[in-house]
Structure 1
């Protein structure tokens, strides 16, 4: 029998934690193993109980959730953090990805969507609602990468089992700008079938299943220019 997915809840509202606990503990394949009311407590507690998945609120008086995400993942790099918040803000999404979160859900998500997100995070998949992903892309378009981002892009590309070609990098960047295949083809003066081939190879090289996760990869690793 497979082990239960161990979940840590981080939220400064008792009522919210109670509702999340009820939903998660009702599932046969997961259980709440701890609760924290702030980011600082979450980092300390996670080091003790070693959860598989953390549901992390953003704005808490006892420690910011985004900062806590980065600190927690330094201690437990294999842990999966899903940002769960009422704030549908571009900056929160972007900073969450940068901190290492694998997902971002709003608290108005249906219970089924929540537990599916926990399972997906446990499998190492990225979870971003379409509307939120669009906000990330919009912010990425307006962001100017620093010199360090450019250095990071080169380093990450060199460390891939099969590095991106120059054309694949161009296609990946256009994907991050939200362009469809036919739009990328016009932009780069290549055929749409060629674009599809490049997209397929990009997904294979970074081992993701869809464009949204490829965009998350591109933003997190400094490929967006």
Structure 2
């Protein structure tokens, strides 16, 4: 069962999504919220597998909320919901740890497929957004001392990382999704997610993007 959280400032959107998603046999809507503050509470209380997050909300928008949410619950995959194709907002949300975005006008089968995709470790990006995201990531890697201040210059390779964790870091650095990593290492996807949580805890990194940058810095790719 995939646990889902829904955060949107429009009552109709929240209620409609809850009804439609609850009708899926493998989905369970564990909580809803209307703003960034309630998103934080939802994640702290329920730790959903996937969070549908509105990009424009009161108190805290989806971009800022994504960064805080990934810090508090790194295993929660975030899908940004937007009513328009706003590249800058989407890219900033992805940089903060979101797995991708969908338009609110997307069909139910597309949304359901998207939830299952990110839960399996995949991402959701149009070719245009993917190209921009790759360019942005490349620039971050080249200039990470200034762009990613939370990855300090003195960061060293923790000696308590085991062989499997090192392999997973390398695979993430090469852009592989959890499903692909699981297949290569002959592990379940849940086990891979558990290893990623352990990696984040041991390294002090925030999310999957920082793990990828970490892998590049330590020449593990």
Displacement, 1:108? Answer: 2.2
Paired residue total? 177
Q: 1:22 to 1:132 in 2, by over 3 A?
A: farther
Partner of residue 13, structure 1: 10
8 A Cα contact 1:88 1:132, kept in partner: no
8 A Cα contact 1:93 1:136, kept in partner: no
Residue in structure 2 matching 1:221, options 202, 213, 219: 213
Displacement, 1:50? Answer: 1.8
Q: 1:140 to 1:217 in 2, by over 3 A?
A: closer
Give me the TM-score of the superposition, normalised by structure 2. Answer: 0.65
Residue in structure 2 matching 1:90, options 87, 92, 96: 87
Residue in structure 2 matching 1:161, options 167, 176, 180: 167
Displacement, 1:62? Answer: 2.9
Q: Deviations over 1:76-99 (max 9, x none)?
A: 111111111113122112211111
8 A Cα contact 1:156 1:221, kept in partner: no
Partner of residue 188, structure 2: none
Residue in structure 1 matching 2:39, options 31, 39, 42: 42
Over aligned residue pairs, what C-alpha RMSD do you find? 3.5
- Rg larger for: 1
8 A Cα contact 2:91 2:129, kept in partner: no
> Using the alignment, how far apart are the partners of 1:204 and 1:99 within structure 2?
17
Q: 1:66 to 1:150 in 2, by over 3 A?
A: closer
